[in-house]
Amino acid sequence: MTDAVLTGSGHDIPAGCREAHWPLENITLAGLSWQTPAENETRPPVLMVHGWLDNAMTFTRLAPELAHHAGIHAVDMAGHGHSGHRPPGYGYWLMDYVADLSELIDHHFPESERFPLDLVGHSLGGIVCALYAAAFPERVRRLVMIDSLGALSRPAKDTVPQLRRALQKRRNGSAPAAVYADVDAAAKIREGGLSPLSPEAASLLVPRNMRVSGDGFVWRTDARLRHPTALMMTEEQVQASLAAIQTPTLFVRAADGLLANHKGLDNRAELIPDLTTVEVPGGHHCHLDGDTAPVADAIKRFLFND
C-alpha cells in the first residue's frame, strides 16, 4: 500500500485518515486508511467495501469509531471514487469485484494467510465481501453486511432477456456526462436517488465521486456502472453462496432500508450457519446518515468483544 494525495478530488479527506492506493495487476484501487492506536496494531485489519455508486467516504462516520480498535482501510471499488476504471470494452461484473478484493488481499494483506482479517461491506460491498468469505473462509475472521444479504437474483427464464438488455446498452453507450456548476449541485441531485440521503450525508459522499471538467464538475464514477449486467445469479446460486459462509457473520438490518420489505430475506438468513442479526434505525445508509451510533455499537461489539 502506498499513500497518495490525488488531485482534482473536490473534497478534503477526513481528519485522522490518509489517501491510499493499492496497485493490482490490471487496475489500481484507491481508498482511505485510518490508523489505530499503537496498542491495537496487532489486531487484524478491517477492510470496508462500499455500495453501488458510492465510495470510501460512505464510511467516514463509522470508520473513526472502529479505528480505536484496529487499522481500517476503506476501498473505492473499480469505477468508483478515485479507483481506476475498467478498460474500454469491459463492464462491471459482480464476480470481477470479488476478484479485485481477492487480489487486493493476496497482494497487500498477505498476513491474512496466518491471521484472518475482518470484512465490512455495505449493500453491493456486502455482497462482494460475502462472496469472498464464502470462497476463502480461511482468510476472513469476521464478516459484517450492512443492509445487505446476498446478491440480487433473477429467475433462470430471465437470462436471455437480461442478456439482450445488456448487449443493447453496451452497443448504444452512455449519455454525455452532465456538467454541474459546483459539487453542491451534484450533491443535491444525489439526495433524491434510489436510496435518498440527507444534505449532510450527500455532502460527505458526493465530492469524492466528482472531478473538474472545464469550468464545472462531472461525475468521476464510470458511466458504465449504470449499464445492466449481462448475467445475474439465480436465487438457487445466491442461497448456495450464503450457505457456504463459515465465517461468523453480522447482518445489520436497517429498519427503513432497501431490504425492509424484501420477500424471502428470512429464508436467506437461515442459510448462514453462524449469523447474528441486529436491526438498527434508519434507511439504507444507516451507517452514514442520521444517528449512526447503533450501527457503530453493534459492529464494535461483534468485531472486538473477544
The CA distance from 227 to 188, in Å, is 23
Neighbours of 8 (CB within 10 A): 11
CA atoms within 13 A on the CB side of 258: 19
Q: Which backbone phi and psi does 240 adopt, to 5 degrees?
A: -65, -40
For residue 165, which amino acid is it? R
| Overall size of the chain counted in residues | 306
Neighbours of 293 (CB within 10 A): 12
Q: Per-residue DSSP letters for 119-186?
A: EEEETHHHHHHHHHHHH-GGGEEEEEEES--S--B--GGGHHHHHHHHHHHHHH-PPPPP-BSSHHHH
> What is the SS3 assignment for 85?
coil
Q: Per residue in 9-43, is it b (16+ CB within 10 Å) or e — as a string?
A: bbbebbeebebbbbebeebebbbbbbebeeeeeeb
CA angle 138, 144, 145 (to 5 degrees): 120
Nine-digit cell at 72?
481500517
Which residues form the catalytic set? 123
> What is the SS3 assignment for 23?
strand
Whose cell is 428470512? That residue is 266
Of the candidates 51, 79, 67, the one whose C-alpha atom is nearest the C-alpha of residue 197 is 51
Question: Which letter does DSSP use for residue 218 in this model?
Answer: E
Question: Which letter does DSSP use for residue 33 in this model?
Answer: E
Assess contact for 166 and 154: CB atoms under 8 A: no
